[in-house]
């Protein structure tokens, strides 16, 4: 038996596992410390009642022979795909039900979609980047090119028409930087991908946080995207499903490479390797798109947006450069006093008992930066910012 040696090329731990490991060690040595976690983007507000009522009702359905559900369609129940189709219509995007695939989350689909792609493809990823794009391709041994995202390009790298690539990862609003592409910028990417016959894997997990009208919610708002893009989205951040697990992927029927339909390939892959998301979870997901569900999600989102404002205001008062927090729940800040990302992580944990995510964990251009999430509780976020101000304020 031979193992996949590409795993040797990965860092020892996945970024958020490494963060959790260091926090656990600190907590063991300081059991009295009240650690505030603004590291991994995990939500804290409870799921709105109408959504959980739908799940409870679905659980009840399973106890009666006439409403019992066994295996469901691997690509998701029609009732949920229909809600998703209508949701996309609110952005002016027309999809067929066949193009929508329900899954247990964007992270799994982003990794699983690589089953469809030959190893001999060149992959373009931004740096800094959500580590899943990089690590899943390292696991497969694909060639990865990095595009520099930095203060000069407002962390929104644009295509280089001279560069030949096959697969392009874009995440907008961006994790980790919070930067978001405008319609015009995405149109440039779509034109480039079509011209190169490349495929854009577009991560829209944070679309519900968009506030600016010129920032598209979906890449399919851009003419030409149907022939070059796949979109991954999730209810984790939109509706608080980080624990419940439900996402969706849109593969256009017009996306064809080497004479093969990627939609058909994805259907084949999913029907072979996946048995679908549970019925109660899909009922809950469908309720997210009801009027009450949307209101409940918006209420929670306002809590996170206020957290983002508190973080941003604190950093502003401390004179710490930062971006994000407007169209996204992440704030991307420069580490104070010229510290490296991990040095600041340790310093902040030791002195303020606050956890964030080191920018260098997202790529080498993230070195010297740090990510804070707005998904904490309002009380925790305020206290974390008071501690940050005490530790890194000028008067100390
Ligand atoms: C993050 O903190 O970057 C995200 O929560 C991770 C994820 O969605 O998998």
Of 73, 105, 52, the closest CA to residue 276 belongs to 73
Read off the pLDDT of each residue in 374-379 and give the average, rounded to a whole number: 98
Cis peptide before 176 (omega within 30 of 0): yes
Residues 6+ apart with CB under 8 A from 119: 140, 141, 142
Residues 6+ apart with CB under 8 A from 64: none
pLDDT computed for residue 396 by the predictor? 44
Q: Is-contact 300 240, C-beta < 8 A?
A: yes
Domain 50-290 carries which CATH code?
A: 3.40.640.10
Query: How many whole angstroms separate alpha carbon 84 and alpha carbon 361?
Result: 33
CB within 6 Å of ligand 1 — which residues? 40-41, 107, 130, 175, 236
| Exposure of 66 in the CB half-sphere (CA atoms within 13 A) | 0
Domain with residues 5-47+293-392, CATH architecture: Alpha-Beta Complex (3.90)
Q: Which ligand 1 atom lies nearest to the CA of residue 107?
A: 9
**Range(s) of the chain covered by CATH 3.90.1150.10:** 5-47+293-392
Confidence of residue 12 (pLDDT cuts 50, 70, 90): confident
Query: How many whole angstroms separate alpha carbon 175 and alpha carbon 373?
Result: 10
Q: Is-contact 361 21, C-beta < 8 A?
A: no
Separation of 17 CA from ligand 1 center, angstroms?
Answer: 11
Separation of 14 CA from ligand 1 center, angstroms?
Answer: 11
Separation of 41 CA from ligand 1 center, angstroms?
Answer: 5
pLDDT in tens, 257-306: 999 999 999 999 999 999 999 999 999 999 999 999 999 999 999 999 99
Dihedrals phi, psi of 357, to nearest 5 degrees: -120, 125
Read off the pLDDT of each residue in 76-98 and give the average, rounded to a whole number: 97
Query: How many whole angstroms separate alpha carbon 261 and alpha carbon 250?
Result: 13
pLDDT computed for residue 395 by the predictor? 52
From 37, 39, 236, 238, the mutation candidate for ligand 1 (largest count of ligand atoms within 8 A of CB) is 236
Dihedrals phi, psi of 129, to nearest 5 degrees: -150, 150
**Range(s) of the chain covered by CATH 3.40.640.10:** 50-290
From 15, 40, 105, 204, the mutation candidate for ligand 1 (largest count of ligand atoms within 8 A of CB) is 40
Query: How many whole angstroms separate alpha carbon 208 and alpha carbon 211?
Result: 8
């Amino acid at each position: 038996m031979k193992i996949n040696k590409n795993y040797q090329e990965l860092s020892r731990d996945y970024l958020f596992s490494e963060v959790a490991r260091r926090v656990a060690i600190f907590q063991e040595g300081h059991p009295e410390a009240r650690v505030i976690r603004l590291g991994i983007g995990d939500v804290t507000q409870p799921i709105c009642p109408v959504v959980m009522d739908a799940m409870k009702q679905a659980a009840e359905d399973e106890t009666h022979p006439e409403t019992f559900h066994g295996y469901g369609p691997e690509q998701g129940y029609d009732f949920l795909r229909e809600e998703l189709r209508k949701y996309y219509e609110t952005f002016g995007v027309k999809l067929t039900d066949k193009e929508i695939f329900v899954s247990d989350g964007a992270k799994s689909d982003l990794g699983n979609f690589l089953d469809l792609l030959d190893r001999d493809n060149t992959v373009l990823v931004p740096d800094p980047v959500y580590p899943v794009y990089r690590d899943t391709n390292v696991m497969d041994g694909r060639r990865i090119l990095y595009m520099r995202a930095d203060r000069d390009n407002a962390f929104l790298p644009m295509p280089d028409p001279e560069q030949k690539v096959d697969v392009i990862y874009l995440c907008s609003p961006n994790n980790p930087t919070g930067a978001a592409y405008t319609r015009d910028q995405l149109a440039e990417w779509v034109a480039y991908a079509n011209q190169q016959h490349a495929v854009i894997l577009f991560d829209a997990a944070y679309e519900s946080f968009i506030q600016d009208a010129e920032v598209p919610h979906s890449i399919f708002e851009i003419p030409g995207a149907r022939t070059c893009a796949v979109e991954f989205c999730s209810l984790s951040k939109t509706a608080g499903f980080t624990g419940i697990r439900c996402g969706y992927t849109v593969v256009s029927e017009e996306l064809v490479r080497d004479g093969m339909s990627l939609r058909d390939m994805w259907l084949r892959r999913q029907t072979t390797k996946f048995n679908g998301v549970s019925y109660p979870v899909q009922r809950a997901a469908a309720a997210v798109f009801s009027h009450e569900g949307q209101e409940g999600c918006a209420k929670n989102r306002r809590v996170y947006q206020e957290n983002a404002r508190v973080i941003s205001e604190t950093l502003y008062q401390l004179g710490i450069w930062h971006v994000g927090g407007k169209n996204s729940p992440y704030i991307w800040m420069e580490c104070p006093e010229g510290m490296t990302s991990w040095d600041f992580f340790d310093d902040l944990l030791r002195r303020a008992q606050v956890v964030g995510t080191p920018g260098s964990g997202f790529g080498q251009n993230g070195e010297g930066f740090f990510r804070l999430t707005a998904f904490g509780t309002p009380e925790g976020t305020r206290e974390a910012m008071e501690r940050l101000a005490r530790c890194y304020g000028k008067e100390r």
